[in-house]
Structure 1
Amino acid sequence: MNQEVGSIMGYLYKLYPVQVYEEEIPQDFAVPSLYFPPASTVDGVDTVSTFQKAYVLNVKLFHENVQKAHNEAERIADTLRSRRGIIPLIQESGEDTGDFIRLSRIETRVSDDYATIVLNWTSRYWYEREDQRSIDGFKFKSGVK
């Protein structure tokens, strides 16, 4: 899991402190609970030095019934919206890095027995660069005066 998804997990857990699942949901899973499947990504060009990845994370929220699940999903989504979609990035230790993610879209959906919070954001990453010898000094001579 990357740092961004981990930060979202931690942030949503603070808003809704329930059992969290990230790999598979067991047969006898806890209710209420949150499930974080892997995020979907699409890449794209950005600048000459960076590329971007657009993420979509479908967080499943389980509760006693679908209406309660939807109500909690809406409450969480509205809290994220009221905070301008900004989620602080944290390290694995839980320490704040000072950076943040800005969600570009927050959506809730209802299925037969759970609610889904769909989170979208785009991140920028540096291309790898080969080490080059630096030019320490050079002189220009020109016949133009």
Structure 2
Amino acid sequence: MKNIDTPLGQHLASVVRYVQDNSKEGTKWYFDEIPEDFFVPSVYFQIPSISGSKVTLSSYKTTYVLNCWFMDLKDWDAYSRAENIRDSILIDNTVIPLIDMSGEYTGKGIRTGVPEIRKIDEGIVQLTISFDTYLTTRTKTEKMQKLYIAWNNAKKLVD
């Protein structure tokens, strides 16, 4: 099966980089686990959840959901920081700039879903960012991706 042109690591790295670039200076980043004496303000990136579905007879969609926990001394501060990232994504039309393996911007973007925010615990607010990738058994993945985009654009015109 042929994969899309961009490796998953670049997609995830791009989302993490976007959160980092749009966060408060001095924020501490956690990836594997949160230490008992964690620093605030901080953001904990959970391992993404992954689900899949069939799109056409020869193509598949994989949905990645990345939960980011914004941790601060007060609920409102954590909420404000998560809301700032959500608003940045919305202002950027739910497109996060794609970076290459060296960390440079490619001029392409990742289309995300509308980010969601919810309180997890005292001083912890979760921002959920999701995005889809597509796989096909055909060698020309670009055709399937263009068809899918065109179809979704057409559906928006009749809604």
Q: TM-score interval w.r.t. the shorter chain?
A: 0.7 to 0.9
The gaps in structure 1 that reach 5 residues or longer are 130-145
State the 1:73 CA deviation. Answer: 0.9
TM-score (norm 2): 0.74
Aligned length: 129
Give CA-to-partner distance per residue, 1:5-62, whole Å, 9 cap, x none: 1110001100004211111111222110111111111111223443210111111001
Distance in 2 (CA, whole Å) between partners of 1:105 and 1:120 is 8
Q: Secondary structure at the match of 1:25?
A: coil
Partner residue of 2:71?
62
**Which protein has the bigger helix share?**
2
Report if aligned partners of 2:70, 2:125 keep a CA contact under 8 Å in 1: yes
> Is 1:7 aligned to residue 17 of structure 2?
no
Which of these two proteins has the greater Rg computed from alpha carbons?
A: 1
2:152 corresponds in structure 1 to: none
Cα offset, 1:92, TM superposition: 3.1
**1:33-72 correspondence to structure 2 within 5 Å:** 33-72=42-81
CA–CA distance in structure 2, aligned partners of residues 40 and 29 of structure 1: 24
Q: Which consecutive residues of structure 2, in runs of 5 or more, have no partner in the other structure?
A: 1-7, 140-159
AA aligned to 1:22 is: F
Matched, 1:99 2:108: yes
Q: What's the TM-score once normalised by structure 1's chain length? A: 0.80
Q: Quote the Cα distance in structure 1 between the aligned partners of 2:118 and 2:71.
A: 12
Give the 5 Å matches for 1:119-138: 119-127=129-137
CA distance in 1, matches of 2:34, 2:50: 22
RMSD: 1.8
Q: Deviations over 1:54-92 (max 9, x none)?
A: 111111001121111011111211111111110011123
- Shift in Å at residue 111 of structure 1? 2.2
Contact 1:105 1:121 in 2 (8 A): no
* Secondary structure, counterpart of 2:85 in structure 1: helix
Report what 1:78 is aligned to: 87
